Amino acid sequence: MRLDNRVALVTGGARGIGRAIGRRLAEQGAAVVIADIDRAGAEVAAKELEVAGWKALGYCLDVSNSGQVSVAMRSIVQALGSIDILVNNAGIVGEEHPVHEMSDEQWHRMMDVNLHAVFYCSRAVLPTMLSRKWGRIVNISSVAGKEGVPNIADYAASKAGVIGFTKCLAKEVARYGITVNCVTPGLTDDTEMARSFTPDQRASKVAKVPMARMATPEEVAAVALFLASEEASFVTGAIYDVTGGRSDY
């Protein structure tokens, strides 16, 4: 699944799933831009790839800011020549509240980062992909967007929106050599959500997984790598669960 001469942009790439995806893409020859609102984290992640002998760039980006996204995409294309692969991974989790106690601010912030940013970044890279008649967009959603989870309606709704957006955009651009797919991880270790669990919460959630453990970021990254490659050339509009059997539809 070599990606030589491809340029990949991974949002939320400083840690967790995004960091693992960036590494897998770089291993296969892509020049990788690690974009994150955490400038230092993005630069450290990119430096690790460079030390390993791969081409990488750290970039500070607030994906919820449409103007910043547009400027960033132009800057990256100018510096590296193209953006062939976009991995929309940046996301947040919020406090748990029932809907009747959820604030406007919490709801809108979740949508801005988890859903609107996917639109902003995809819109910004499409002109380059369309002109080259080749592109890969991989959106990282969540099984919560398929199943619904009490007290995180904002998060689940934002992730369900990513799934719907994926299916629509895939149909729009399929004839132009661009594929758009979605990965829906379940419980994944070394993520913001997993780190927030108490030991009892962790045990309770793992008990619902047939494989009796959390996924690793590397296991999610393996699916993203496939979808970014030539091997997935006839796959588009698809939703790939990485849940250890928790979700099977």
pLDDT score of 190: 75
pLDDT score of 191: 79
Is domain 7-239 classified as CATH 3.40.50.720? yes
pLDDT score of 208: 86
Percent of the chain topping pLDDT 90: 90
Where would I find the beta strands (DSSP E) of the chain? 7-11, 31-36, 56-60, 85-88, 135-140, 178-185, 239-242
pLDDT score of 1: 78
* pLDDT band at 10; cut points 50, 70, 90: very high
Report how far Cα 135 is from the mean position of its chain's Cα atoms. Answer: 16
- Measure the CA angle with vertex 28, ends 61 and 115; round to 5°: 35
* pLDDT band at 248; cut points 50, 70, 90: low
Least confident of 25-39, 171-185, 190-204: 190-204
* pLDDT band at 249; cut points 50, 70, 90: low
Closest CA to 206 of 221, 220, 189: 189
Mean pLDDT in residue range 207-230: 96
Least confident of 87-96, 106-115, 171-180, 238-247: 238-247
- Over residues 61-102, the pLDDT tens digits come to 999 999 999 999 999 999 999 999 999 999 999 999 999 999
pLDDT score of 193: 75
pLDDT score of 247: 72
Give the start-to-end residue ranges of the domains of the chain. 7-239
- Over residues 50-61, the pLDDT tens digits come to 999 999 999 999
Whether the per-residue pLDDT at 235 is higher than 70: the answer is yes
Structure tokens at 112: 């801005």
Q: Which position among 120, 155, 176, 249 bears the catalytic label?
A: 155
* C-alpha–C-alpha distance, residues 51 and 77, integer Å: 23
pLDDT score of 197: 80
Output the average pLDDT for the chain.
Answer: 96
Whether the per-residue pLDDT at 160 is higher than 80: the answer is yes
Mean pLDDT in residue range 30-39: 99
* C-alpha–C-alpha distance, residues 184 and 20, integer Å: 15
pLDDT score of 212: 92
Measure Cα distances from 56 to 17, 118, 123, 137 in Å: 17, 22, 23, 19
Please say if 249 is a catalytic residue.
no
